[in-house]
Amino acid sequence: MIAMPPASVASTASLTVTPRELVARMFRRDASTRVLHLTWFAFFLTFVAWFNFAPFASTIGDQFGLSKGQLVTLGLCNLALTVPARLIVGGLLDRFGPRRTFSAILVYALVPCVLSATAQSFSMLVLSRLLMGIVGAGFVVGIRMVSEWFKPSELGTAEGIYGGWGNFGAAAAALVLPVLAEIVGGPDGWRWATALAGVVAAAYGMVYLRRVDDTPDGVAYVRARKASALEVTSRGAVWGLIAMSVPLGLALVDIAWRIFHVDVISSVVFGIAVAVSAVLLGLQIAAVWKVNVRARTSTYPESEQYPFRSVAVLSFAYMCTFGSELAVVSFLPEFFESTWGLSTAVAGAAAAAFAVLNLVSRPAGGMFSDALSSRRRWLALLLGGLAVGYLVLSQLSSGWPLGVALAAVLATSVFAQAGNGAVYAIVPQVRKQVSGQIAGMCGAYGNVGGIVFLTALVFVSPQAVFAIMGLTSLLAFLACRWLVEPTTVAAPLHLGDAARPVADISSPGLVGAR
């Protein structure tokens, strides 16, 4: 049975505002705006640290005498622990609050940065990149922090700015760190630049701890009852959560296989990696089973239920939007270079436009989610456009004019990045107490998407990978029929915000709670 929302809540479903008004609200002089901009910059710095290897890959490879397979291994190690870390960090922030969690991650970033900067062997580089993957989990923390400070009619815009501007840290690492290395000069310039990224992140972590609060004055932080696994509210959702945990474990096996595939590790080491991944998956499933004993044995009151199917659909959608983006930015430069005979520099610049558009496209995706009457339909529209875009790109060849091909790539990137913003305009509204864990699940699936699509590239052509991403996005478009429209507030009432409806903070955040 579908539960009907209170009248004061239902009225917000058709509320629309102009994009101009939404943008203006993101730069007003108040505490929420200050928290937003301090938080996206925290995310920005985690991405500068997380991606500080790529700009120096060639230099490090030459200095350490690394093979192409070893460089591939370091890149994969950078991703490996991000998948489980996003789940763990999501639970920690729901339990202890985003202020302390984000500050801890920023300070922690100093450790892998210094290890990387002082490394004298390949094994030490591997360790530093594995530990660096945890820094990549910082993204999910800001999702809940922003949701605590903005009302539903502004949430998509705020989350879009947070995600889009913070994501630019990856591009900033590629642009700024090599310049810093040149200023220092000498063969160790990359070491100083890498260490400096960690020092700046750690210093900002201390600033962030002092300058922000988890919630507005007078508003209590609603904490999750459990942090080891997501708490769901029905027996079917328990099995659904277990099923969703399996691809996360398989992603680690996939990374181990790709390292084995380039002959960096032996079959014995690969077997150990598979066994460790199986153990981690088993521990995750055991935590899900233990945390959700109530869902397995009794019935939650309707006021406490929330639709787990929305978590599944949003995770799948983010796998298509962000996952495909991760894959495309990885292979697009080489694709342009080999297909149209461009120089490495020109091909890299052309492909970089895919990522740079995040500054505008992701905030726009969240902003229109706020401005339009249905967040679900807007996300479905973007996924449909993304499917069409990738199917068009699957037909690219040297016979296409380069300008037309580049325009098609950029148009597709807009759908992918706006889709990222539209997903996270909904995520914080599914269930307030566990929004960090839900954000972590969706974020982990984004990484899984990147790993899966890049693995497909080992077996098929880039055009075939574009086709796979297009068909997957089409399935996500169809799955949106099961996504439940957000209706209730995502954060408590701001002082002076008389237009905002008041709702019980224990409410699930969506109608159709079963």
Instruction: Choose between 391 and 18: higher pLDDT.
Output: 391
Give residue 18's pLDDT.
81
| Residue 192 belongs to a domain | yes
Give residue 16's pLDDT.
61
Q: Are 234 and 305 in contact (CB under 8 A)?
A: yes
13 pLDDT exceeds 50?
Answer: no
Give residue 343's pLDDT.
83
**pTM exceeds 0.85, yes or no:** yes
User: Of the ranges 52-61, 260-269, 488-497, 501-510, which one carries the lowest mean pLDDT score?
Assistant: 501-510
pLDDT-based confidence at residue 474 (cuts at 50, 70, 90) = very high
Mean pLDDT for the stretch of residues 198-224 = 94
d(CA 202, CA 190): 19
Tell me, yes or no, whether 314 and 391 share the same domain: yes
The CB density around residue 496, as the number of other CB atoms within 10 Å, is: 8
Helix (H) or strand (E) holding 159: helix 152-184
List Cα–Cα distances, 94 to 98, 244, 375, 492, in angstroms: 7, 20, 24, 16
* pLDDT tens digits, one per residue of 137-173: 999 999 999 999 998 889 999 999 999 999 988 888 8
d(CA 17, CA 430): 22
Question: Which residue range(s) make up the domain with 262?
Answer: 234-299
DSSP state of 322: H
| Residue 435 belongs to a domain | yes
Compute CA 117 distance to the chain's CA centroid, rounded to the nearest angstrom: 26
User: Of the ranges 113-122, 174-183, 247-256, 442-451, which one carries the lowest mean pLDDT score?
Assistant: 174-183
Structure tokens at 365: 């995706």
Q: How far apart are the first and last CA of the chain?
A: 8
Q: Closest by alpha carbon to 247, among 203, 281, 210?
A: 281
Q: What residue type is assigned to position 268 of the chain?
A: V
Tell me, yes or no, whether 291 and 311 share the same domain: no
Angle at 40 between CA 36 and CA 45, to 5 degrees: 150
pLDDT-based confidence at residue 512 (cuts at 50, 70, 90) = very low
pLDDT above 90 coverage of the chain, percent: 71
505 pLDDT exceeds 70?
Answer: no
SS3 string, 420-489, reads HHHHHHHHHHCCHHHHHHHHHHHHHHHHHHHHHHHHHHHHCCHHHHHHHHHHHHHHHHHHHHHCCCECCC
303 pLDDT exceeds 90?
Answer: no
52 pLDDT exceeds 50?
Answer: yes
Tell me, yes or no, whether 356 and 490 share the same domain: yes
In the chain, the number of structural domains is 3
Calculate the CA dihedral of residues 393, 394, 397, 403 and round it to 10 degrees. 0
Q: Closest by alpha carbon to 311, among 243, 378, 362?
A: 243
Give residue 186's pLDDT.
82
497 pLDDT exceeds 80?
Answer: no
Tell me, yes or no, whether 422 and 368 share the same domain: yes
| Residue 19 belongs to a domain | no
| Residue 279 belongs to a domain | yes
Tell me, yes or no, whether 289 and 311 share the same domain: no
Tell me, yes or no, whether 257 and 405 share the same domain: no
Residue 263, sorted as left (phi over 0), alpha (psi -120 to 50) or beta, turns out to be: left
Tell me, yes or no, whether 66 and 107 share the same domain: yes
Q: Which residue among 189, 221, 253 closes a domain?
A: 221
Q: In whole numbers, what is the pLDDT of the chain averaged over residues? A: 88
Strand partners, 486: 510
484 pLDDT exceeds 90?
Answer: yes
Q: Which residue among 299, 328, 348 closes a domain?
A: 299
Residue 349 is part of a domain; what is its CATH number? 1.20.1250.20
| Residue 152 belongs to a domain | yes
Q: Are 240 and 285 in contact (CB under 8 A)?
A: no
User: Of the ranges 19-28, 228-237, 326-335, which one carries the lowest mean pLDDT score?
Assistant: 19-28
* pLDDT tens digits, one per residue of 334-358: 899 889 988 877 887 777 777 778 8
Helix, strand, or coil (residue 279):
helix
| Residue 226 belongs to a domain | no
| Residue-wise burial string across 427-464, b where 16 or more C-beta atoms lie within 10 A, e elsewhere | bbbbbbbbbbbbbbbbbbbbbbbbbbbbbbbeeeebee
Give residue 1's pLDDT.
33
Q: Which residue among 157, 186, 221 closes a domain?
A: 221
* pLDDT tens digits, one per residue of 272-293: 999 999 999 999 999 999 999 9
Tell me, yes or no, whether 398 and 325 share the same domain: yes
Mean pLDDT for the stretch of residues 440-453 = 95
| Residue 5 belongs to a domain | no
Mean pLDDT for the stretch of residues 12-22 = 65
Structure tokens at 510: 């969506």
| Residue 12 belongs to a domain | no
Tell me, yes or no, whether 331 and 476 share the same domain: yes
Tell me, yes or no, whether 315 and 207 share the same domain: no
133 pLDDT exceeds 80?
Answer: yes
Tokens 């296409």 sit on residue: 400
90 pLDDT exceeds 90?
Answer: yes
Tell me, yes or no, whether 255 and 331 share the same domain: no
d(CA 372, CA 384): 17
Tell me, yes or no, whether 54 and 122 share the same domain: yes
User: Of the ranges 78-92, 310-324, 482-496, which one carries the lowest mean pLDDT score?
Assistant: 482-496
